[in-house]
């Protein structure tokens, strides 16, 4: 596992598992727990986004420079609840200079699309810590 993910306490706390870590591609999954539900007993949208954002971060950090999100848009398509397994698949669409565009699809265990995310990356001049 990459050092970036070894230091990612938030993803670890949420029980995320990195299934694929390739330049420009990533797959991350997580099982929804009771403490991840909102007041309507469905998965909190912020946690669906967090899963997608983690896959996005892995996919866009392709070299020694730190790449961060410059922005992202999410469309929620299906609700989920406790016990379901969500998987986020991120892929690079294009990189031009310091800017990139990545698409992330979040699915449930049956393959139904839960959310679509379009992330915009910005590569900095900083090196990864440690």
From first to last of the 130 residues of the chain, give the pLDDT tens digit: 578 888 999 999 999 999 999 999 999 999 999 999 999 999 999 999 999 999 999 999 988 889 999 999 999 999 999 999 999 999 999 999 999 999 999 999 999 999 999 999 999 988 777 6
3-state secondary structure of 8: coil
Is the pTM higher than 0.85? The answer reads: yes
pLDDT at position 128, please?
73
- CA 115 – CA 49 distance, rounded (Å): 8
pLDDT at position 127, please?
79
Domain that holds residue 45: 3-127
Number of domains making up the chain: 1
Q: Are 2 and 20 in contact (CB under 8 A)?
A: no
Q: What's the CA angle centered on 98, arms 122 and 120, to 5 degrees?
A: 40
CATH (domain of 84): 3.10.129.10
Residues forming beta bridges with residue 72, ordered by sequence position: 119
Q: Are 56 and 72 in contact (CB under 8 A)?
A: yes
Residues ≥6 apart with Cβ < 8 Å to 117:
49, 52, 53, 56, 72, 73, 74, 75, 88, 103, 104, 105, 106
């Amino acid at each position: 596992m990459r050092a970036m993910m070894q230091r990612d306490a938030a993803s670890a706390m949420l029980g995320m598992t990195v299934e694929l870590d390739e330049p420009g591609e990533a797959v991350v999954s997580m099982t929804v727990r009771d403490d991840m539900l909102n007041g309507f007993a469905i998965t909190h949208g912020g946690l669906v986004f967090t899963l997608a954002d983690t896959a996005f971060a892995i996919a866009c950090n392709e070299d020694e420079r730190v790449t961060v999100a410059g922005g992202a848009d999410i469309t929620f398509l299906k609700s989920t609840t406790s016990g379901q397994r969500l998987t986020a698949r991120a892929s690079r669409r294009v990189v031009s200079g310091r800017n990139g565009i990545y698409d992330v699809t979040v699915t449930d265990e049956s393959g139904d699309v839960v959310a679509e995310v379009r992330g915009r990356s910005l590569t900095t001049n900083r090196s990864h810590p440690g």
